[in-house]
Structure 1
Amino acid sequence: MKNCIFANKYSKLDTWNKHTKRLLKAELVKRGISIDDLVRRLNAVGIYETKSSINSKISRGTFSASFLIQCLNVIGCKNFDIEMPYNIAAEPIESYKTKVMQNEK
């Protein structure tokens, strides 16, 4: 279990929900696709969702794997790199605090 990702703090479901949400959002941004565009593309293939329902799903990060794959398919994503949550770029909070503190001096 020493090398298992599930044996550490990243095993919490909330962490994975946030990670999945960020991955989908990143793919949309890479392609310049808005939520309105996503709604139209999903509707065009018979997946009827509203902008509100999609915003809610993405905001919560609790959508199904099927929904994720449907979204990736309609936006033209053929390859999807699944990185571990701690490998995704995020705002470096500690560095930020340090820089702010230095500027206050």
Structure 2
Amino acid sequence: MPETTEHQNLVKNLLKAELKRRGVGYRELAEKLGERGIHETERNLANKISRGGFSAAFFVQCLLAIDCASLQLDNV
């Protein structure tokens, strides 16, 4: 079974890819999360996503904030 850091890298890269695909930067993500009552600074988001050690709830909150309804995992 892969180590935890491999999974952290996987979700980090999935989230970064979805942000890039939609042209959403950390500042805009912070604004979109703020509209949902989730208050994060641009810098905090950059650090959290860079580490990859965030919760599944945070991952889903980010995906919903950028209107990502599905992910392709077949190439992972």
TM-score, length of structure 2 as denominator length: 0.93
Which sections of structure 2, spanning at least 5 residues, go unmatched?
none
Q: C-alpha offsets along residues 29-79 of structure 1, whole Å, 9 cap, x if unaligned?
A: 000001100000000110011111111110100000000000000101011
Which sections of structure 1, spanning at least 5 residues, go unmatched?
1-5, 89-105
- Give every structure 1 segment of 4 or more consecutive aligned residues whose post-TM-superposition deviation is greater than 6 Å: none
The structure, 1 or 2, with the larger RCO (C-alpha pairs under 8 Å, 6+ apart) is: 2
Take 2:59 and 2:39, find their aligned partners in 1: how far apart are those partners? Answer: 14
Take 1:14 and 1:58, find their aligned partners in 2: how far apart are those partners? Answer: 13
Which has the greater radius of gyration? 1
CA RMSD after TM alignment: 1.1
Identity value in percent:
39
> How many equivalent residue pairs?
76
TM-score, length of structure 1 as denominator length: 0.68
